[in-house]
Structure 1
């Protein structure tokens, strides 16, 4: 079996954590390709190396002395190197970094050095071949990721290597300048490597024992999801669940490669399998609950609007003209409601209102702010009657007023709109009715 394994920053924050990672990799000879993140926090009061690099670079660009800050970063790596008893000297690398910082090589370059250096340490520790991601992860001159070219270059580079370390998070443009993915982008690199080597499984090692049914900051010790499909994960990730970078799903989905989310600090835990599809029945009716605060709704009312051809297009055209994307659009016979991000809408609300009057001559326009959207997701809902009724019942019992409910035609998810102040209460109520009551 061929596996690509990606380890997050918390898994590589110290020499002690590195040793755990080494034990995990050596325990399975199928774990042949390793994608490391930059060292994360060693404790709650600590600073991630990526954030230290950003701070150091900004100091350099401002023309102030940055050498002490860079030395502190070097000390983080030296602590790991010493703890692993490696004969590795990163001084030449830090000299090069200092030169490039002084020459204002860019924030992407600065941020990428965390993974770049950690990759060198990891390859030295494991005895694997090191591949600089700048040589194999390709972006165009505008910074757009080139998936096909990357797959071609990376596949060729890895085809004769039994083992390799490819640092996460970054690649390069045609001129050689470094370009990063968004924060958390090491997940994307891991999935790209898995696709390139036609891996059997992509293991994503982090500091939780799998994907949780809901946010542990809202519900104490929520259940772990044993198996989740790509579609369910996409729905939950979009609504705020953050175990994986949502863009990491696509390369794997194209190849049908399952993702196994595991805990570096508890490798014996079964974790969560993320798959294209499955016949296995979920433990609960729902798979997960996720949500976001900070939405506004714009309700357009007009008598007989359902007979007016092009009404919906005209309404949405106003939002498009103001460069606003919409989240959901429930409607009635004479009403149409558009949900948008409140912070984006606030700056343009008067332009939108004026635009709607010109476009469709509504009878009235009603605005409501400080709303939250909650997604209840699960393939088990398709086969279960009364799911929406149970949600309404649970929310009514918790004294939560429902502002909107929208169910997709796939019956995979139900979106509920509530006031921001009821967000946590609503999630707890839904969790209790679908999970706690079934345990």
Structure 2
């Protein structure tokens, strides 16, 4: 038997019709014994998420504004689910009690109720026991997980229940107060349970069928990514390609528990399996590519810079003083370039440049704006001689100028900087070079042996 932790996101529990899909999915596989749910999400594009409405409810409370209209919207959503599915849980009474006690509740407790009430309704609908996250997950004051306390409580609960429904997004602080995670924290809850339960797989059900090799708004009908490593996911997510809360990766990565991204609305789709150590068949020499605009470069040149110890450090210290993160640092013998996000420097750019001049007296200091970064990612690239050459040649054929090149020592990622106006064309060009049928090259990429159960 395969042990699964199964998490359903907000779109999967947005209304009664989605609850029915969840029930079909859970009951179709007896291995799906531990179910985590988010608060109901949007039913349509102009709709509101329950969590957003709860934050709005709290804002009304804080500013002593009548919140009845917001509360009525929240209550109507939960009542629709209850009545349509003919459930008995008295969600109306509990919501009314919440509203009556609103002034005495913290923001964390108020916004956590979306997951709480959703899990209560889902537990009854599935015929599963309800286990409250506040009774299990312990959170330190810095919002890190108290693993020892959480493990002890979950192990105790599992002596009582061999299956349950569990609300995501929150836990209890060591001083007994509800604490919520960052938005999307239901993913974190699922990965915590998977880690402690030692699950064979963590299923994450959402409204997309996993990851695609490129943004479908840029590349028409991009190929799906059926398998990806955590390292590759990290690279692509950093450039904006993500359907999973970033912090949800770490609890399962440690144990090499695979995450399976699946679509509640298309449950038969293959989805994407995320796992670090396994044997992966690669249909293409790259795993995916992603890009985003909004960067600029600060170019620093000084004659005989290489002979001056600490020169680069002094420049980086200036950027640190202004709280600026550095994306990449391409360098030469007597020059280097700091690539930074435009929004981090635009309000104080002239002050930063002045501080750099004072600190290191460069012979030349200039800024190039309107840069987009495009990352081509794939563990298999290190086994493919000439990958960088093919990429640069393809861009050259299209007349796309490269303003920056960066490649890590593991050769998992080649990042190029281009003019923002060339962002879409760059992604299309690289995709066509490596993913078109004429370039198919099946590769096997083997990593360290898996400690968890491989789904491949």
- Give the TM interval when normalised to the shorter protein: over 0.9
Q: CA 1:52–1:141 in structure 2 vs 1: closer, same or farther (change >3 Å)?
A: same
Contact 2:89 2:120 in 1 (8 A): no
Contact 1:375 1:416 in 2 (8 A): yes
Q: How does 1:2-401 map to 2 (within 5 A)?
A: 2-103=3-104, 105-106=106-107, 108-401=108-401
SS in 1 for 2:45: coil
Q: Deviations over 1:173-195 (max 9, x none)?
A: 22333222221111111100100
Question: How far is 1:54 from its partner?
Answer: 1.8
Give the Cα separation in 2 of the matches to 1:212 and 1:296. 28
Give the Cα separation in 1 of the matches to 2:276 and 2:172. 30
Superposition TM-score, scaled by structure 2 size? 0.92
Q: Deviations over 1:23-50 (max 9, x none)?
A: 1111111111111111111122222111
Question: How far is 1:262 from its partner?
Answer: 0.9
Structure 1 stretches of at least 4 aligned residues deviating more than 6 Å after TM superposition: none
Q: Deviations over 1:149-178 (max 9, x none)?
A: 433433433344210111111122223332
Give the Cα separation in 1 of the matches to 2:373 and 2:98. 44
Contact 1:61 1:104 in 2 (8 A): no
Q: CA 1:100–1:364 in structure 2 vs 1: closer, same or farther (change >3 Å)?
A: farther
Contact 1:151 1:192 in 2 (8 A): no
Contact 2:138 2:149 in 1 (8 A): yes
Give the Cα separation in 2 of the matches to 1:137 and 1:247. 16
- The more displaced of 132-141 and 250-259 is 132-141
Give the Cα separation in 2 of the matches to 1:17 and 1:117. 16
Mark the runs of 5 or more structure 1 residues left unpaired by the alignment.
none
SS in 2 for 1:171: strand
Question: How far is 1:315 from its partner?
Answer: 1.9
SS in 2 for 1:327: strand
SS in 2 for 1:405: strand
Question: How far is 1:347 from its partner?
Answer: 2.4
Question: How far is 1:407 from its partner?
Answer: 0.5
- The more displaced of 385-394 and 202-211 is 385-394
Give the Cα separation in 2 of the matches to 1:135 and 1:330. 50
Give the Cα separation in 2 of the matches to 1:315 and 1:342. 17
- The more displaced of 369-378 and 27-36 is 369-378
Q: Deviations over 1:65-122 (max 9, x none)?
A: 112211211111111112222112112321332144333622x333222111111111
Q: CA RMSD for the aligned pairs? A: 1.7
Contact 2:256 2:277 in 1 (8 A): no
Q: Deviations over 1:290-346 (max 9, x none)?
A: 122211211111111112222222221111122222111111111111111111112
- The more displaced of 195-204 and 287-296 is 287-296
Give the Cα separation in 1 of the matches to 2:348 and 2:297. 13
Give the Cα separation in 2 of the matches to 1:34 and 1:362. 59
Mark the runs of 5 or more structure 2 residues left unpaired by the alignment.
441-456
Give the Cα separation in 1 of the matches to 2:148 and 2:313. 35
Contact 1:159 1:197 in 2 (8 A): no
Contact 1:281 1:380 in 2 (8 A): no
Question: How far is 1:3 from its partner?
Answer: 0.3
Give the Cα separation in 1 of the matches to 2:101 and 2:425. 50
Give the Cα separation in 2 of the matches to 1:346 and 1:70. 41
Question: How far is 1:228 from its partner?
Answer: 0.7
Q: Between Structure 1 and Structure 2, how many residues are aligned?
A: 438
Give the Cα separation in 2 of the matches to 1:292 and 1:367. 19
Superposition TM-score, scaled by structure 1 size? 0.95
Give the Cα separation in 2 of the matches to 1:88 and 1:380. 52
Contact 2:35 2:164 in 1 (8 A): yes
Give the Cα separation in 2 of the matches to 1:97 and 1:297. 52
SS in 2 for 1:423: helix
SS in 2 for 1:41: coil
Contact 2:143 2:181 in 1 (8 A): no
2:444 aligns with none
Question: How far is 1:56 from its partner?
Answer: 2.2
- The more displaced of 382-391 and 257-266 is 382-391
